Structure 1
Amino acid sequence: MTQWQTESNEWADRHRRSLTTRHTYEDVLTDREFELLVEACSELPEPRRFQARFICLIAGRLGLRAGEIAHFDTNWLDWDRKLVRIPKSEPCACGYCHRQAAQEASHNETLSVQDALASRWHPKTIASARAIPFDLSLRVELCIERFSDRYSSFPHSRTTVNRRVQEAAEQAALSGRVYPHCLRATAASYHAYKGVAPVPLQALMGWSDLATAQKYIRISGTATADAVRQVHY
């Protein structure tokens, strides 16, 4: 088999996998679905009502990951500049972080669980340590203010983050799959549609690869539409 045939077969295999693999952007909520989801949070009993609303807004509009929400701390808030500053790492001994530290230690003989915990919690990638403006809408800003009035940090685990989103989705009777990461994709789609350029979008979402931002902008069609309008008007 020639090198060309090998590369061709590898490309074909990747293409077939891409056709059968479901991507998060396929579960992006429409504006109507997102509003129904946020509205449905108010039908839940307290404190689940407020927690679900907080999760849906900072995931669906600011693009925070489930792990970032579960470790959210009011010390991350820069009130003067209206920013959420996600740190590179932060001490944490929650069950999730302990399990992750134990897994890291099991794959590294020179690393103890305690040493692994010393660098926990940390976001998914280096690029994930970022600053996110939270004054993009008054609704989001007020929700974060209310959160800081009630809590110093998110009071539950990552599992609860998933559960609150599922409870709101069931209350809203949404037909598609709704989960925290699809809300993050919804935020990316929302900002791409608003016309945020690839590099700022990458920084906002904390992606390591610029191609991810370009994909969301391509899907939204905003860049194409703007380019066409500039030619014709």
Structure 2
Amino acid sequence: MSSSDQRPRGRKPVTGDDHGKDWASDDAVRHTKEDAINERQFEQMVQATYRMDDDYFARECRLVLFACGRLGMRPGELAHMCEGWINWEDERIEIPKHEPCTDGRTREICGHCRGAAEQMADIRTANTLDEHYQSLGPRDVLEPGGHVHELFVDPEPFYAQLWSPKTENAARKIPYAEASTRAALAVEDYFMHYDEFEASRGVVNRRVDRMAEQAADVDADEIYPHALRATAATYYAARGLSAMDLKALFGWSQFSTAIAYIEESPERLEDALQQLRH
């Protein structure tokens, strides 16, 4: 959704962590707002959940659809969501700045966060190596191997930092009932049966695919969780939400992301022109 939330044309999105790998690097990129679906397509995906025979999958699919497509949650946020995030009295989902990850198969760190830790270690290693080579004098001999291997950073110390949201602004409060009555019902129904989101980050993608495959006007190859998040942003921009409120709801770091949705909303232009006629 920000400049980093991009995907290549004609390719499935990269399934990675929520700390900077939910896009594919390619020369021909497009922003997820270009992949937002319209109201008819969204409703077809809603209806698809009611045609599923398995109540568990139907309930999980509805939560994914409304959490991403109406509440603007990132897939990594949803994958780590538990009932403790929900303020039932104030009807808000409160995304924390940090939550120890125990979503792996043996209640250890999940693959999603493990990948994020490896990425963090790789970045630290690259910076350390750069500093090392820059510190060498003109007469220092660069020998293959040597003690350079000691500069490589182990990802395990980063495990304790995860899970955390993508940015500092992403730790936010989402008024789910005010945003959407149907989203509120989906949240309440799911957490009436489960204490936490039962699936992994990769499963979120598969649930989106499953709904899309049963929605007549939705191309399953072109829809993915961040496109649903873009759908939510498009939905609220069209209904007059300000840039400040969009930024707060979606946890963006920059106002420019919110402004891009507002500027490209034909509904806002139509409303403005209609008001001029009165």
How far 1:46 moved relative to its partner?
3.1
> Mind listing any 5+ residue stretches in structure 2 that lack a counterpart?
1-26, 102-108, 125-150
Q: Which residue number corresponds to residue 92 of structure 2? A: 83
3-state SS in 1 of match to 2:165 = coil
Q: Which residue number corresponds to residue 67 of structure 1? A: 76
1:193 aligns with 2:238: yes
**How far apart, in 2, do the equivalents of 1:128 and 1:201 lie?**
12
**How far apart, in 1, do the equivalents of 2:86 and 2:191 lie?**
9
Higher Cα Rg: structure 1 or 2?
2
Q: Which residue number corresponds to residue 166 of structure 1? A: 209
Q: Which residue number corresponds to residue 22 of structure 1? A: 30
- The answer as to whether partners of 2:76 and 2:201 remain within 8 angstroms in 1 is yes
Structure 1 residues 1-233: aligned runs within 5 Å: 20-44=28-52, 45-92=54-101, 93-108=109-124, 112-135=154-177, 136-176=179-219, 177-233=222-278
3-state SS in 2 of match to 1:47 = helix
How far 1:138 moved relative to its partner?
2.2
How far 1:150 moved relative to its partner?
1.2
Letter in 1 for 2:45: L
**How far apart, in 2, do the equivalents of 1:117 and 1:111 lie?**
13
Identity of matched residues, %:
40
**How far apart, in 2, do the equivalents of 1:137 and 1:156 lie?**
23
Cα deviations by residue, 1:68-108 (Å, 9 ceiling, x for unpaired): 11111111111121111111111001121122213322433
Q: When the two structures are aligned, how many residues end up with a matched partner?
A: 215
Letter in 1 for 2:118: A
- The answer as to whether partners of 2:70 and 2:180 remain within 8 angstroms in 1 is no
How far 1:216 moved relative to its partner?
0.7
The change in CA–CA distance for 1:122 and 1:232 in structure 2 (over 3 A counts) is same
- Return the TM-score normalized by structure 1: 0.85
Give the 4+ runs in structure 1 shifted more than 6 A: none
**How far apart, in 1, do the equivalents of 2:122 and 2:244 lie?**
37
After superposing the two structures, state which structure 1 stretch, 101-110 or 173-182, moved more: 101-110
After superposing the two structures, state which structure 1 stretch, 96-105 or 200-209, moved more: 96-105
The change in CA–CA distance for 1:113 and 1:36 in structure 2 (over 3 A counts) is same
Letter in 1 for 2:93: V
How far 1:111 moved relative to its partner?
5.9
Cα deviations by residue, 1:188-215 (Å, 9 ceiling, x for unpaired): 0000111101110111011111111111
> Mind listing any 5+ residue stretches in structure 1 that lack a counterpart?
1-18
How far 1:185 moved relative to its partner?
0.3
3-state SS in 2 of match to 1:168 = helix
Letter in 2 for 1:87: P
Higher helix share: 1
How far 1:230 moved relative to its partner?
4.8
**How far apart, in 1, do the equivalents of 2:67 and 2:88 lie?**
16
How far 1:166 moved relative to its partner?
0.2
Q: Which residue number corresponds to residue 146 of structure 2? A: none
